[in-house]
Chain A
């Protein structure tokens, strides 16, 4: 792989993600005002002192957007990565070992999926103490049921290939078969799913915030900001669209990068795309 072979669309995605991460890391430096400071009138239009206007309490929208990147990206990314780690390991183990293990994992997964996600999350989050890491963990576990389904399906497809049989005949252990034979050949569909799941995570987080169980005010997060400002839309005030656009842009950027990664790893027949 070399830098030149990265297509322009992937560069756009990388730039977008880099910008969001920079905002998250250097929020106190970049933001013109404090996260929680009421600095102006309610719902002031964009321009002047406030580049993007103010929100429903008169806080600077740009500053909150920059601070919001922190929580939103941290929670969504951590939850997605965790759910993939969990879902993939369990699903691959189920596909490779088969038999009882497969049945146990799969039926438990079905059980989890049978309970509506949102209600499940509400109950669990209401009972457990309100910590950021508990929120991340709950989101990850709930998301991992979907990853398990896909992971098991693609792993089963690969597990019956002759090169896996050859590895078994050689006497390789399950770990080698999972990580060296199956995983590299299932990356494409899983990467595609990753892009999708990340976007869903942001949305799920904002849903939880909306219901009062996600990020707690006055801390900013993009989904919560949409909720805070949604009433303004009725009066023709576009403050809610700004964090909405941020969510959409980040989701698109992630998917642009994922698309490129997918092309690079796609197709069993063609081998590596850049080879």
Chain B
């Protein structure tokens, strides 16, 4: 069988302009080769910066923002598309090769109806006339399982959910009947329960239309469900390339093995229920416009333990953290901290009360002032709460840097000069500097690559052992809950669905929502997707 897409010895370079230095050429991708046959799916996997998106876009002969494809060949049906002129490339893009972006919300024009945007490429390339294109769009809406396919195209992007939008984007890519589609992390921005539906729809549509696909993701468990072959990338080079079965079940390289086993740390829960640190009783909360976000939530956390709050976006889990911090005062209910009731608002709390509860954010990028050095960021709580100055403060900052396994050479760096994982570590050190009794962690690892995230989790656990700090850990990832929690609270649409020790919450009998949530977490196993779709009891909210 002839190859549809054949990439040979691809080399992609970009010029970077470090201030104060002469521009230098950086090699992003080097020596990457793969073949893709008609109707097959190749998964490109790697952490951020591995070059997977850059390689995916090379199939459209496109170099993003200053990247140039400087070497190798990209053969589409035997023809090197890198050698085509502008009009030649235009006739390939959107007709023979289509692209599905990570954020469908940003990729659709909000001013036009979905139907028009889905058929636009087919009309522009003269592949179909309007009637044919609309017929094909309707067919694709059906295949992708969109609600009311007849009228779906009449809607505007803001009128449909994120999961539906991602499927509409897949329909847009499939509409001109392309030979190849490049999926760039199509489910990464979605909730797990929505992800599973989109994944199933994409898989079904690919099989139905016999289109080949490049599927780019950082989640090995996701790609295992959908692809025939997998290529593992790191720093722009191929680490391992093989069939899905081989890569998942018998990985050859250490790096792949680490990726496969990354979600398998587990911890036994602490059973000691004495000495309650934080107690939340019948808390209700509403936004300023009167919209109620929390309904009658109660839970408690013993000292030195970890309470995980799980739920998808909109479940009110982050709002609960804001209520605990006092940023959003509860409308009803009480929060007690070590037996004493906490004042409802931030203003009502004393400095000492503020010191004892610290917070770690999801995006370490925006949680740190980009104009302050690591020394200032970690040092400020020291001088603010403990009036430490000069050498004593520097000494303590160094200690904290050692505790987060970074070391004093980072003292005078700015956040922009740190990697994602290092930034999150500095944020942890800042929280730690206040010697808190409770740290609220709002999805601290969800923006990080799996291996880096695991490092952060291990660090948090180590710190808990050393300082017996308690955590409220907000997450949507059940694997993390398994790994670190002592007790678990499951939230759904502002209500507490389930609360108790981890062993009890995560073992049957389940309520319907917990069942759906647990089953939606991708597992590193081929055929998991089909099995789950057959056995689950409840449709996800995205439908």
Partner of A268, one of B19, B327, B370, B384: B370
How many whole Å from A74's CB to the nearest CB in chain B?
Answer: 32
Contact: A271 with B415, CB < 8 Å?
yes
Contact: A269 with B416, CB < 8 Å?
yes
Decide yes or no whether A131 CB sits under 8 A from chain B: no
Query: Chain B, 376-398, contact with A by CB distance < 8 Å: what is the 0/1 string?
Result: 00001100100000000000000
Q: Decide yes or no: A185 and B369 within 8 Å by CB, A162-B361, A271-B417 being known contacts.
A: yes
Count B interface residues, CB 8 Å.
30
The docked-state distance in angstroms from the alpha carbon of A272 to that of B381 is 23
Decide yes or no whether A165 CB sits under 8 A from chain B: yes
Decide yes or no whether B409 CB sits under 8 A from chain A: no
Q: Assign chain A's interface to a size class.
A: 20 to 34
Decide yes or no whether B419 CB sits under 8 A from chain A: no
User: In the complex, which residues of chain A have a beta carbon less than 8 angstroms from the beta carbon of B416?
Assistant: 269-272, 275
Q: Which residues of B contact A (CB under 8 A)?
A: 19-20, 325, 327, 346, 349, 351, 354-355, 358-359, 361, 363, 365-372, 380-381, 384, 414-417, 430, 434
How many whole Å from B484's CB to the nearest CB in chain A?
Answer: 23
How many whole Å from A171's CB to the nearest CB in chain B?
Answer: 4
Q: Decide yes or no: A185 and B414 within 8 Å by CB, A169-B325, A170-B380, A172-B384 being known contacts.
A: no
Partner of B384, one of A161, A162, A171, A185: A171
How many whole Å from B336's CB to the nearest CB in chain A?
Answer: 19
The docked-state distance in angstroms from the alpha carbon of A185 to that of B414 is 13
Partner of B361, one of A5, A166, A171: A166
The docked-state distance in angstroms from the alpha carbon of A268 to that of B434 is 26
Decide yes or no whether A163 CB sits under 8 A from chain B: yes
User: In the complex, which residues of chain A have a beta carbon less than 8 angstroms from the beta carbon of B371?
Assistant: 184-185, 271-272
By beta carbon, the residue of chain B nearest A163 is B369
Having A163-B367, A169-B327, one finds 8 other A-B pairs with CB under 8 Å, namely A162-B367, A163-B366, A166-B359, A169-B359, A170-B354, A269-B416, A271-B371, A272-B414
User: In the complex, which residues of chain A have a beta carbon less than 8 angstroms from the beta carbon of B354?
Assistant: 169-171
The docked-state distance in angstroms from the alpha carbon of A270 to that of B372 is 13
Query: Chain A, 154-176, contact with B by CB distance < 8 Å: what is the 0/1 string?
Result: 00000001110110111110000
The docked-state distance in angstroms from the alpha carbon of A273 to that of B354 is 35
7 nearest A-B pairs in the assembled complex, by CB-CB distance:
A271-B416, A184-B371, A271-B414, A162-B367, A171-B354, A163-B369, A162-B366
Q: Decide yes or no: A170 and B363 within 8 Å by CB, A5-B20, A185-B369, A268-B370 being known contacts.
A: no
By beta carbon, the residue of chain B nearest A164 is B369
The docked-state distance in angstroms from the alpha carbon of A121 to that of B228 is 75
The docked-state distance in angstroms from the alpha carbon of A171 to that of B359 is 13
Query: Chain A, 237-248, contact with B by CB distance < 8 Å: what is the 0/1 string?
Result: 000000000000
By beta carbon, the residue of chain B nearest A268 is B370
Contact: B370 with A273, CB < 8 Å?
no
Q: Decide yes or no: A275 and B414 within 8 Å by CB, A166-B359, A171-B351 being known contacts.
A: yes
Most B C-beta atoms less than 10 A away, residue of A171, A270, A271 = A171
User: In the complex, which residues of chain B have a beta carbon less than 8 angstroms from the beta carbon of A185?
Assistant: 369-371
User: In the complex, which residues of chain B have a beta carbon less than 8 angstroms from the beta carbon of A5?
Assistant: 19-20
Most A C-beta atoms less than 10 A away, residue of B349, B355, B359 = B359
Most A C-beta atoms less than 10 A away, residue of B359, B361, B363, B369 = B369
Contact: A162 with B346, CB < 8 Å?
no
The docked-state distance in angstroms from the alpha carbon of A216 to that of B334 is 70
The docked-state distance in angstroms from the alpha carbon of A271 to that of B372 is 9
User: In the complex, which residues of chain A have a beta carbon less than 8 angstroms from the beta carbon of B381?
Assistant: 170
How many whole Å from A163's CB to the nearest CB in chain B?
Answer: 5
User: In the complex, which residues of chain A have a beta carbon less than 8 angstroms from the beta carbon of B372?
Assistant: 180, 184
User: In the complex, which residues of chain B have a beta carbon less than 8 angstroms from the beta carbon of A270?
Assistant: 416
By beta carbon, the residue of chain A nearest B353 is A171
Query: Chain A, 132-171, contact with B by CB distance < 8 Å: what is the 0/1 string?
Result: 0000000000000000000000000000011101101111
Contact: B369 with A184, CB < 8 Å?
yes
8 A-B pairs whose Cβ atoms sit less than 8 Å apart in the complex: A165-B327, A170-B354, A170-B380, A180-B372, A184-B371, A185-B370, A269-B370, A275-B414
The docked-state distance in angstroms from the alpha carbon of A268 to that of B372 is 11
Contact: B19 with A181, CB < 8 Å?
no
Contact: B414 with A163, CB < 8 Å?
no
Decide yes or no whether A41 CB sits under 8 A from chain B: no
A52-80 interface with B by 8 A CB criterion: none
The docked-state distance in angstroms from the alpha carbon of A268 to that of B414 is 11
Decide yes or no whether A37 CB sits under 8 A from chain B: no
How many whole Å from A95's CB to the nearest CB in chain B?
Answer: 16
Most B C-beta atoms less than 10 A away, residue of A163, A185, A271 = A163
